[in-house]
Every structure is written in structure tokens, then in C-alpha cells.
Amino acid sequence: MRDIFNAIQKSAIRIKEAIDVKDIGYSQQENSSGETQLQLDIQCDMIIEEEFSNVTSVHTIASEEKEHAQLMHNEGKYFIAYDPLDGSSLVDVNLSVGSIFGIYEGDFGSQNMVAACYVVYGPRVEMVFAENKTKLYLLQAGAFEFVKEIRLKEKGNLNAPGGTQQHWAPYHKELVDSFFAEGYRLRYSGGMVPDLHQILLKGGGLFSYPGTLDKPNGKLRKLFEVFPFAFIYEKSGGRAIDGKGDLMKLPHANIHDTAICFFGSNYEIERVKEVYAQQG
């Protein structure tokens, strides 16, 4: 696992350098989710693939930017799913973005996840890596220095409601509004990594991306986004559900499958379960 951790650190430093170059515009290609790819998306994907190609413990990689998984080393045991630059459409308005990694042993799948990691490229470059505990690192002078362990409180006060509001179910809107009525603060940038990082570091709250009329199975991808953050939130003392059950118990059929997702502290997740249990 140390060799994977080191490869992610090297990738993050190279990706930060790529982001700092002026905007290089959109490519003519689309990714598997039908989203037009930024040249930067493709460049960041290549950086990560190159770094993992040097790690013999990595058997297979799957990128959000590619249709199919790729064999790296037959003798490897880890399967890594990653989103090279999540929220890339925010780069040209200078908002924070991130890279997300799900590390699976033996094959992809929530039941095989053994570690998860994300890097947030903001005013500072920080990394969160979770195995048994969730650890925060800060990039300083070309190296990631350990800062602290992350633990969520029982309840927070931040509310990050994703998805197109005009397509929310009425009961979901009532749920979201009920937190604001309790004094929760709206914290939503449209970047999953900084939005979830903020709730983790501020001690708690709720991030939601529900099923909507336009995206009935949610928008966020299980292997690259949902399972890694579910793993990290659970290792930090929080919870991650799809409205009814644990996200980390969900199967997947295709590497680009999506899921409805709620990540947060215990209090907020219990409230989500109460409301969603009434919907049958």
C-alpha cells in the first residue's frame, strides 16, 4: 500500500502543476458519462496512469475518463478506480477541485475496498488517506506532511444539497429545508471533493445527491466517487447511505454505475433515513 500512497503523492504534485498552467480548453472527446472532456481531464488521467504503471502491486485501473478498465500488472493484487480531476469544470472559475481514488483488493466492488484517498487542489493542496483511520496530509515544500487524524462529531451544521432543485422530489426538498430551518449553513460549490472535505474538517453536516427526475439513480459514480467517500466517512465516524441502506453494501454492474448518496454525521443520516423510510 505504501507504493500506491507514494504514486498518488507524485500524481498530485504533477496534477497541481498541470492545473497551474493557463486554461487549455475543451477536447473534442466525451467521457463515458457523456461529458465533454477538458484537455486537462485527459492530461491528469495520463499522469495517474503513468504513475500507477510503475507500481507492480496494481493489477488493474479504471478511470472515470475511460470507458473500460485497464490491466497494469498481472502479478498485482490491487484494483484502483479513480476520478483524475473531479469538478474540472470549476477550474476555469478558479474554484477548488480534486482527485479521488478507490483502492480495492482482488477486484472492484464495495466489499473489496481496503483504502480510499482524495486530493483537494485549493488554496493549499491537501490529501486525505483512509485505511483503518482517516489521516490528513498537507503538501509543503514538495512533500505531503501528516497533519492529524479526522473524526466527525455526532452532529454538524453544514448542509451541501446537490442536484438540480427543480427536479427534487417534494419530500427531499422538505428534508433539505428542515436542516436550514434548524440553522444549518449552505455550503455547496459544485465540487464533490471540496464540499465533502469541508464537512469532514468542520466536524460534520450533510452532503446529499438524491435521485432526481433527470437523474433517477443519482449522478455520482459508485467506484470512483461514492464508495471512496463512503469508506472515508465511515472510517471518520460518520455514515454513508443511499437513503435506505449503507452505500458500502451496494453492488455494481458497470464500472460507471451511479448511486443516490448521502454522506454525513450520525444525526443527519438518521434524519435522512426517517424521511426516506416513509417513501416506501
* Contacts with ligand AFP, residue ranges (CB under 6 A): 35, 86-90, 162-164, 190-192, 219
Residue nearest to ligand AFP (CB): 192
Closest to ligand AFP by CB, 6 vs 189, is 189
Closest to ligand AFP by CB, 92 vs 131, is 92
- Looking at the DSSP bridge assignments, the partners of residue 127 are 119, 137
Beta carbon of residue 143, minimum distance to ligand AFP (angstroms, whole number)? 27
Residue 141 contacts by C-beta under 8 Å, 6 or more apart in sequence?
none
Closest to ligand AFP by CB, 27 vs 89, is 89
Place of cell 458500502: 248
Cell reading at 97: 477541485
Beta carbon of residue 60, minimum distance to ligand AFP (angstroms, whole number)? 23
Beta carbon of residue 241, minimum distance to ligand AFP (angstroms, whole number)? 17
Beta carbon of residue 280, minimum distance to ligand AFP (angstroms, whole number)? 26
- Is-contact 213 224, C-beta < 8 A? no
Beta carbon of residue 270, minimum distance to ligand AFP (angstroms, whole number)? 23
Closest to ligand AFP by CB, 86 vs 242, is 86
Long-range contacts of 213-218, Cβ-Cβ distance < 8 Å, separation of 24 or more: 213/167, 214/164, 214/167, 215/163, 215/167, 215/258, 217/257, 217/258, 217/259, 217/260, 218/163, 218/258, 218/259, 218/260, 218/261
Closest to ligand AFP by CB, 58 vs 64, is 64
Closest to ligand AFP by CB, 136 vs 261, is 261
Instruction: Report the 10 Å Cβ neighbour count for 251.
Output: 9
Q: What is the DSSP letter of 226?
A: I
Pick the closest to residue 134 from 122, 117, 120, 119 (CA basis): 117
Identify the helix (H) or strand (E) that includes residue 20: helix 2-20
- Is-contact 155 82, C-beta < 8 A? no
- Is-contact 36 89, C-beta < 8 A? no
Residue 118 contacts by C-beta under 8 Å, 6 or more apart in sequence?
98, 99, 100, 101, 127, 128, 193, 196, 197, 228, 229, 232
Closest to ligand AFP by CB, 66 vs 73, is 66
Beta carbon of residue 2, minimum distance to ligand AFP (angstroms, whole number)? 28
Beta carbon of residue 219, minimum distance to ligand AFP (angstroms, whole number)? 6
